[in-house]
Amino acid sequence: MLKGRTAIVTGSTSGIGFGIAAALAAQHCNLMLNGFGEEAEIESLRRGLEEKNGIEAAYCPADMARPQEIRDLVAETAERFGGADILVNNAGIQHVAKLVDFPEEKWEAIIAINLSAAFYAAKAALPQMLARGWGRIINIASAHGLVASGEKAAYVAAKHGLVGLTKVIAIESANSGVTANAICPGWVKTPLVARQIDARAASLEISAAQASRELLREKQPMLAFTTPEQIGALVLFLCGEAASTITGAALSIDGGWVAQ
Ligand code: NAD
């Protein structure tokens, strides 16, 4: 389905981003991977995707908190593959604390990585998409892009901002062959959420399994985690012909979280 296309997936060395990269690779899409981690582990992920799917996968260690590194990531993709047809803004971090205690450097980092990075990446990648008359910008927002929870000021602000940014890109790109959409997952079991489960287990002196069940029960009518593979499948759908008039949408995949 995506043979000959190239996707940049930010934050694809782990969790949801890796699930998305694997789904795209399985459809023969070339990849520019990005994210932090052990060099040897990233190289093994990269090579695994190439060997399993017969694609080309490159890796760029750009820090999504740094605008110039984001521009370089897009430029490197253009040099290596002739441009990005698909941009998945997925890199993200979390910090949980009450507003009055919220560390200012955490606010700045979350706004930079979870929101501003998508602006810089889209600004750099969109001209090539418009010139070719086809493109997909997919922003991984969150249920927290649509509703709030306490103790997540920066994350909720960034994700609401990301949903808004998505709408603007969609309006400006209408009739160009480029669509822009946000995906709003509920709980997905990844290292980002595992840290929240461990913190809850420690503070309430309960097991990780119990903390995990309570985390789900608090927010989601459906007591199951969404998987990175399911998010990958939704990204593929958005890249397909059937989704060519879906733009500016914020698609929930959240076990009923925002239905309440
Ligand atoms: P994760 O911690 O498993 O992965 C995050 C990825 O982002 C990693 O590859 C990491 O190296 C990368 N990253 C972090 N900071 C970066 C930086 N400065 N520059 C480049 N890369 C950086 O987390 P995840 O759960 O897979 O989260 C992925 C996205 O999905 C995030 O935007 C997150 O907000 C969103 N999300 C997650 C959940 C969930 O329940 N896990 C729910 C809704 C939305």
Q: For the domain 6-186+226-252, what is the CATH superfamily, name and number?
A: NAD(P)-binding Rossmann-like Domain (3.40.50.720)
CA distance 189 to 15: 8
pLDDT tens readout for residues 223-237: 999 999 999 999 999
CA distance 64 to 118: 9
Provide the pLDDT for residue 253. Answer: 98
Provide the pLDDT for residue 41. Answer: 98
Provide the pLDDT for residue 239. Answer: 98
Tokens linked to 71: 């521009």
Provide the pLDDT for residue 8. Answer: 99
Residue position matching structure tokens 């997909």? 136
Provide the pLDDT for residue 171. Answer: 98
List, as one string, the DSSP characters of 145-177.
Answer: GTS--TTBHHHHHHHHHHHHHHHHHHHHHTTTT
> Does 63 sit in the ligand 1 pocket, CB within 6 Å?
yes
CA distance 76 to 153: 34
Most ligand 1 atoms within 8 A of CB, residue of 31, 60, 89, 93 to mutate: 93
Cα dihedral sign for 237, 238, 244, 248? positive
Provide the pLDDT for residue 229. Answer: 98
Provide the pLDDT for residue 147. Answer: 98
Provide the pLDDT for residue 65. Answer: 98
CA distance 203 to 193: 15
Provide the pLDDT for residue 93. Answer: 97
CA distance 222 to 158: 25
Provide the pLDDT for residue 150. Answer: 98
Residues assigned a catalytic role:
155
User: Ligand 1 center to residue 17 CA distance, Å?
Assistant: 7
pLDDT-flagged residues of the chain (< 70): none
> Does 233 sit in the ligand 1 pocket, CB within 6 Å?
no
> Does 19 sit in the ligand 1 pocket, CB within 6 Å?
no
Backbone angles phi and psi of 224, in degrees to 5: -140, 145
CA distance 33 to 42: 9
Bridge partners of 123, per DSSP, are none
CA distance 158 to 221: 25
Provide the pLDDT for residue 200. Answer: 94
Burial 126-157 (b: 16+ CB within 10 A, else e): bebbeeeeebbbbbbbbbbbbbeeeebbbbbb
Domain ranges of the chain: 6-186+226-252, 189-225
CA distance 80 to 94: 32
Provide the pLDDT for residue 27. Answer: 98
CA distance 48 to 58: 12
Mean pLDDT of the chain: 98
User: Ligand 1 center to residue 131 CA distance, Å?
Assistant: 30
Provide the pLDDT for residue 220. Answer: 97
